[in-house]
Amino acid sequence: MLTQLARHLPAVSIAAMIAASLIPVRIPAAEDSAFHSSDLKGWRNTGEWMTAKAVALDPANAEKFVITPGEGVIVNGLKQKSTDPVTEREFGDVQLHVEFCIPKHSNSGVYLMGRYEIQVYDSYGVEKDKYPGIECGGIYGRWINGTNVEGHSPNVNASKPPGEWQSFDITFRAPRFNENGKKITNAKMVKIVHNGTVIHENVELTGPTRGAMADNEKPTGPLRLQGDHGPVAFRNITAKEIKLP
């Protein structure tokens, strides 16, 4: 069909048609079925996590939070190591918006399908960190034969200072499997936007990143928040199911 049309259409029109075919299509009623989180409802393995109205850096210790009681924020700020909450609901292709805040030197992560980590890290003002993928917004590496491989640093360091709220907007395509359960297409970070800046596009993931909740891959999986590497707070988490080509 496209070949026949190409004989009669200018190159600009053909390019527009191809681009339109790659636009993600939201599943029916996805707006109504989107997962919204500003509290601990819909999560399991919450452990010491709590709700709060606000968090701020502790004036006496910038590596800790002062927590204002209330609702709207979820935080693990009372302990240096906590559990990793996961959603009760599972997702495949998804558009995810998440806002986060960390104190100085803290370390966390957002795992798509519980398996593929986008790093949350204190990277403000850092030109080059220890290894690819450790930076905030980095796609964390895999662990193969005792070596950290396939880490992807962000194209731009868009990090804000500790104590300030930051955001990720992630478009993720789940791996594909045939009727026999064999993987035929890798998972992909289609786009990651950090604080309004595009930091990744079309990064294939050959397997789960280090620290994944499982080494196997599946068509769907839960959203997971890392809580065992320091204080972190999250708010305005929205996951919308989509269908990507």
Q: What CATH code is carried by the domain that includes residue 67?
A: 2.60.120.560
User: What are the tens digits of pLDDT across the range 211-230?
Assistant: 999 999 999 999 999 998 88
pLDDT at 37: 86
pLDDT in the model for residue 78: 66
18 located within any domain: no
Tell me the whole-structure pTM to 2 decimals: 0.85
- 131 domain-assigned: yes
Structural domain includes residue 170? yes
| Residue at 172 is within a domain | yes
Sign for the CA dihedral angle at 226, 202, 245, 24 comes to: positive
pLDDT at position 145 is 85
Sorted by sequence, the CB contacts under 8 Å of residue 19 that are 6+ apart come out as: none
Residue 3 in domain: no
Any residues with CB less than 8 A from the CB of 42 and at least 6 apart, and which? Answer: 35, 87, 88, 89
Higher confidence at residue 120 or residue 215?
120
**Count of domains for the chain:** 1
CA distance 67 to 177: 44
In a domain, 13, yes or no: no
What range defines the domain where residue 191 resides? 26-243
> Does residue 177 belong to any structural domain of this protein?
yes
Tell whether 11 is covered by a domain: no
Nearest to 213 by CA among 114, 123, 117, 70: 114
Nearest to 121 by CA among 109, 132, 107, 111: 107
In single-letter form, the type of residue at position 148 comes to N
Closest CA to 110 of 244, 232, 242, 240: 232
Query: What is d(CA 232, CA 44) in angstroms, rounded to the nearest whole number?
Result: 17
Q: Which residue has the higher pLDDT, 140 or 17?
A: 140
